[in-house]
Amino acid sequence: MKKDTIAAISTGMTNSGIGIVRISGSEAFRIADRIYKGKDSLLNAESHTIHYGFIRDENETIDEVLVMLMRSPRTFTGEDTVEINCHGGTYVVKRVLETVIKNGARPAEPGEFTKRAFLNGKVDLSQAEAVIDVITSENEYALQSSISQLKGSIKKKIQDIRNKIIYETAFIETALDDPEHINIDGYGEKLKSVINNVLIDLNHLIESFDSGRIMKEGIQTVIVGKPNAGKSSLLNTLSGRERAIVTDIEGTTRDALEEQIQLKGLTLNMVDTAGIRDTDDIIEKMGVNKARDYVTYADLIIYVVDASRPLDQNDEDIIHLIEGKNTIILLNKSDLKVIVTKDNLQNKINNILKIDKNEGKLAKNIPMIDTSLKEEQGIEEFEDMLNSMFLKEEVSFNEEIYITNIRHKAALLDACESLKKVLDSIENQMPEDFFSIDLMDAYEALGNITGETIGEDLVNEIFSKFCMGK
C-alpha cells in the first residue's frame, strides 16, 4: 500500500454552505500546519480537536476555516487525518485542495480513503462496500440495510461461520498428524451435523438476496394494459406529477416512459408501456413489442384493466403474457359503471390458462384491487399489497441480515458447493484429508466476502467504483 499523504474534496462539488477537504497520511498534520494560520500551531495539538483560523497560499488568504485534527489510530483510515471545513463555494474548495496538494499531498484516487481503512484493518471489505451503499441509498430500507452492514452484521456472521469451518479443519489436520492420541472414528457423522447447520445459515443468507436486491436496487416494475385502461394515469398518480400524457385517444403512449417512485420505503423503477393491442401503425407496434420485452425481465407487473369496458382479445393476450409473473391487477375506473368484476376477470383467467377453478392456483397468485385512478381510490391498498408481496414480514435490521451484493451471493454459493462436496466425501467414506481440502475451499470462498482471501486486483476494482474523496 502506498504510504504517502493523500487529499481530496469529500463533499459534493456544488455551491453549498460547507465544503470539506480531507487529508490522510503521515504528513497530514505537517501539511495542514504549513497552510494554516491561527492562534496555535497544529503540530502539537491534541487529537480530535477543532481549530479556528485561515488557509493561506503563501501570502494570500484563501478562506476562513475550521480545521479538525484526528490522530491515528482513532480515525476512519487508521492514519493521521485532517479535515478542513471551509465555505462551500466550488472555487474556494478547489483552491483549498490545490493549496494542500501544493504543500506535499497528492490527489486521492477514487475510494482511496476507504481502501486505506480496509487495508489498515479498520473495516472489512463488506463494511467498506457498505460505505458506498449508504451514499447511494435511495430509500429507507436500502439505507438501514447498508447501515446494518456498515456496523458489521455480515462481517460477524461470516466470521462465525468461518470459525466453525476452520475449527473442524484444524481438528482433522491435528488428528492426521497425531493418530495415536486423537481418535477420529465416527468423526464423519459429527462433521456432517456441523456442515448441515452451516449450510442452513448459508442458504438463509442466499435466500435473503432477492429481498436485499429489491431494497437496494428497487422493484423493476412494468405497467401493462390495453390502450386507455389508465396506465399513464397510474404513473402520474404514483409519481405525483404529469409524467405521461393522458388523453382519450388510444395509442397515445408509444414508447416506454421510465420513472423512479418511492412508496412506503420501497423504490419502484417503473416503466409505463404502450397499450398492448393489434395495430397496423408501425411506430405503435414497435412500442407494443418493447412492452412485451420489458415484461420478460420485470420483478412486478401491474396489469391495469378498464373495468368499464368488456374484456377482449387484447386482454387475453395480456393474460398469457403475465402468466407466472409477480402481478397485481388494478380494476380501474370503478367510479364508472363497472362491467368487469374480480370474479369476471378470475373466471376469464382460469378459462384462458385452463386452470382448475377448484385448485385456486391463480386466485392466490394474482391479487386484484378495485381502483379509480381519476379519484385516486385504491392507491393505499395497492401500496400495502406491494409491501406484503415483496417484504414477507416486518423488516428488522437489528436481527435480520440481507445480502445486497451479487459478489457476496456468488461467494456464498461457492462455499455451499464446497461444503456439499464434503458431505459427498463423508457419504462415500473417503479419507479425512479429502474433507479438509473442500472445507478450506469453503473457508476461502467466505473470506472473499470479508476481504481476507481476496486478490489485490479485485480490491482495486471494487474501490475504483467509489466516489472521489470517500
Tell me the binding residues for Mg(2+): 232, 253
List binding-site positions.
Answer: 22, 83, 122, 228-233, 247-253, 272-275, 470
CA–CA dist 53, 183 (Å, integer): 71
Question: ∠198-203-204 over CA atoms, to 5°?
Answer: 100
Residue 26 phi, psi (nearest 5): -65, -25
List binding-site positions for (6S)-5-formyl-5,6,7,8-tetrahydrofolate.
Answer: 22, 83, 122, 470
Closest CA to 325 of 288, 357, 353, 305: 353
List binding-site positions for GTP.
Answer: 228-233, 247-253, 272-275
How far is residue 98 CA from its own chain's centroid?
A: 35
Q: What is the DSSP letter of 449?
A: H
Q: Cell 396489469 maps to which residue?
A: 303
Q: Cell 481503512 maps to which residue?
A: 117
Do 290 and 256 touch, CB atoms closer than 8 A? yes
**Cα–Cα distance list, 404 to 129, 204, 380, 389 (Å):** 10, 13, 28, 18
CA–CA dist 111, 128 (Å, integer): 9
List binding-site positions for K(+).
Answer: 228, 247, 249, 252
Do 137 and 212 touch, CB atoms closer than 8 A? no
User: β-pairing, 219-224 with 266-272?
Assistant: parallel
C-alpha count within 13 angstroms, C-beta hemisphere, residue 223:
32
Which ranges of 240-336 does DSSP label H, i.e. alpha helix? 282-296, 313-322
Question: ∠384-386-391 over CA atoms, to 5°?
Answer: 95
Residue 252 phi, psi (nearest 5): -60, -45
